[in-house]
Amino acid sequence: MKKFSLLFLITVICYSCSSVPITGRQQLMLVSDEEVLNLSLQEYNEYIKTAPKSTDKTSAALVEKVGRKIADAVEVYYKATGMESLLAGYSWEFNLINDSQINAFCMPGGKIVVYTGILPYTQDETGLAVVLGHEVGHAIAKHANERMSQQIALQMGETTIGTLLNKTSPTIQTVGAVVYGLGTQVGVMLPFSRKQELEADHLGLILMAIAGYNPDMAIPFWQRMSQQGGNSIEFLSTHPSDNTRISEIQKEIPEAWEFYNAVYGTNKKPANNTSKPKTNENWHF
């Protein structure tokens, strides 16, 4: 990398840090929210046009109900912290799609998709809240934007920065297509990093608590997922489940109850029935 490029990159990075709501982690953002929203909306619209909607009306209504409650929790949190402006480009949608893959996702901007394949694992409304809290956690933490920015930073050395930072540049379009490659083998997006997965778990716990769900129930959900096991399961191959994940969640549950108590004026505590996690160490990351 040329000296000029490096200096330019450092300058760009200094002006491009933002922080994740709730966790406060600093992250690199080289792409504007507007651009990410545009790209993801394009991809979402393409996908949803042909995606087979589930005919199971009861489950679809449950996805809508839980999704709405998690979305409301985001709004409650943002209003309480004076960050409503961050929700400017959001327009929530909740879909249950007939697909045997054990997966779910939330696109930037609040487009939520749940595959019917995950319902045997969520089992009930609270289980679904664990999944949707996690997925919405990725969205509000702008993890896709961060992944795009990391990809762009990697390519910085090989491409002229002037071209790269041009919003209509082919590079940004290509990276966007990869990150939001709904039509690719990967499925929805490039796998999130392990750090992002743990952060989405953390945000998800707090969102489900604000939405009025029992955050203790995140543990049995992830235990069910990990007992099922196998790299062929899409949700697990992109959503690592292991001892670290479950023990991190256990540590964060008291904080989630604090949010619950603050919102509902209660004094509830974590149940200590969150037994030692049974997990499989051989997940593919």
Is 199 among the residues known to form the active site? no
CB of 197 to Zn ion, least distance (A): 5
Q: Which of residues 245-284 bind Zn ion (CB under 5 A)?
A: none
Indicate the residue whose CB is closest to Zn ion. 239
Closest CA to 136 of 218, 188, 72: 72
CB of 190 to Zn ion, least distance (A): 12
**Helix or strand (DSSP H, E) at 240:** none
The residue (of 202 and 239) whose beta carbon lies closer to Zn ion is 239
The residue (of 147 and 239) whose beta carbon lies closer to Zn ion is 239
CB of 270 to Zn ion, least distance (A): 23
Cβ contacts of 263 within 8 Å, gap of 6 or more? 76, 209, 210, 212
Is 143 a binder of Zn ion (CB under 5 A)?
no
Is 239 a binder of Zn ion (CB under 5 A)?
yes
The residue (of 165 and 186) whose beta carbon lies closer to Zn ion is 186
By CB neighbour count within 10 A (0-12 exposed, 13-18 middle, 19+ buried), where does 202 fall?
Answer: buried
Q: How many residues bind Zn ion (CB under 5 A)?
A: 3
The residue (of 137 and 176) whose beta carbon lies closer to Zn ion is 137
Closest CA to 86 of 145, 129, 10: 145
Question: Near Zn ion by CB under 5 A, which window of 9-17, 30-38, 165-173, 192-200?
Answer: 192-200
Token pair listed for 240? 């690592």
CB of 110 to Zn ion, least distance (A): 16
By CB neighbour count within 10 A (0-12 exposed, 13-18 middle, 19+ buried), where does 266 fall?
Answer: exposed
Question: Near Zn ion by CB under 5 A, which window of 51-59, 167-175, 177-185, 195-203?
Answer: 195-203
Which residue among 34, 43, 75, 135 is the active-site one? 135
Closest CA to 107 of 65, 77, 135: 135
> What is the rounded CA–CA span in Å between residue 202 and residue 249?
7
> What is the rounded CA–CA span in Å between residue 244 and residue 261?
27
Query: Catalytic residue numbers?
Result: 135
**Binding residues for Zn ion (CB under 5 A):** 197, 200, 239
